[in-house]
Amino acid sequence: MLEIHKNTLILQSKVKEKELENFLSGEVDNNSCFLEVHSGAGGVEAQDWAEMLVRMYTRWSESKNFAFDILEEHPGEEAGIKSLTMRIDGEYAYGWLKSESGIHRLVRISPFDSNSRRHTSFASVWVYPVVDDKIEVVINEKDLRIDTYRASGAGGQHVNKTDSAVRITHLPTKIVVQCQNNRSQHKNKETALSMLKARIYELELQKKESKKQSRNESKLEIGWGRQIRSYIMHPYKMVKDLRNGVETSDCQSVLDGNIDTFLETALFKKVK
């Protein structure tokens, strides 16, 4: 009986894997991805929250044996980050994470409030596929404004290690991308162009799904009424996805990168 139970569990696991592979069948689901995190309303508290989200996604990436690389980072004045862009390399990285785009809300007793009051903070997450050679995205040089600037960071491996950071503005769409993680200006420009192609491709995907609510509409304000998930740590503990009702009381586990339940449910819901 024990052997039968063991084999049943193995079979169930394989069936689930095959189901998920079928759901990850979009044109670029198999690709790596760029992930942006921006702090929103809430000052230093929101900046700390944005850094907590970065930690959540890096922990998740580590659990999948995915490689990740910080491409651009703007640290907060006191703590946390104002914004950060990272690249996550792994099979189906984009397919897994594409549903994470949106506003994430945190409710907790702020460690930055001497009166120990409850604070609500917001941060946005946006995910774009890395566009490979199989997909053609045409960008005209005349449509680009390219600026260089000195890189900066919060310290450690990212502190002022190059004077050749690159910012590219795509004039027709107003999309701005930047990269500062390489010493070479040429490599930073190459990476920034790859990010720009990803953003433009994602924009085209949005146009194809014009009947659905555009993601850009939800980018107007990082705040109330636009969140996709709430992380409540006081007066009770609960993480709840507001799109499909999936929830858990184990907040710390989620913040440690255990987000597969949310990702899988989003995949099942999208197919249905």
Residue 22 vs residue 253, higher pLDDT:
253
Mean pLDDT for all residues in the chain? 85
Residue 175 in this model has a pLDDT that exceeds 90: yes
Cα(85)–Cα(166) distance, rounded to whole angstroms? 13
Domains along the sequence of the chain with CATH: 28-271 (3.30.70.1660)
Q: What is the pTM of this model?
A: 0.81
pLDDT value at position 212? 52
End-to-end CA distance of the chain: 36
pLDDT band at 168 (very low <50, low <70, confident <90, very high): very high
Residue 145 has pLDDT above 80, yes or no: yes
Distance CA(188)–CA(204), nearest Å, equals 24
- Write the CA distances from 173 to 26, 143, 145, 166, 198, integer angstroms: 25, 9, 12, 18, 13
Mean pLDDT (whole number) for 145-174: 74
Q: Would you state the pLDDT for residue 7?
A: 67
8 A C-beta contact, residue 168 and residue 146? yes
Tens-digit pLDDT profile for residues 85-133: 999 999 999 999 999 999 999 999 988 887 878 889 999 999 999 987 7
Instruction: Band the pLDDT of 213: cuts 50, 70, 90.
Output: low
Q: Model confidence at 156, in pLDDT bands (50, 70, 90)?
A: very low
d(CA 218, CA 199) in angstroms, rounded, equals 16
Q: Which two tokens stand for residue 56?
A: 């959540």
How many residues are present in the chain?
272
Confidence (pLDDT) at 157: 45
Confidence at 211, pLDDT banded by 50, 70, 90: very low
Q: Which residue has the higher pLDDT, 272 or 193?
A: 193
Average pLDDT over residues 35-51: 92
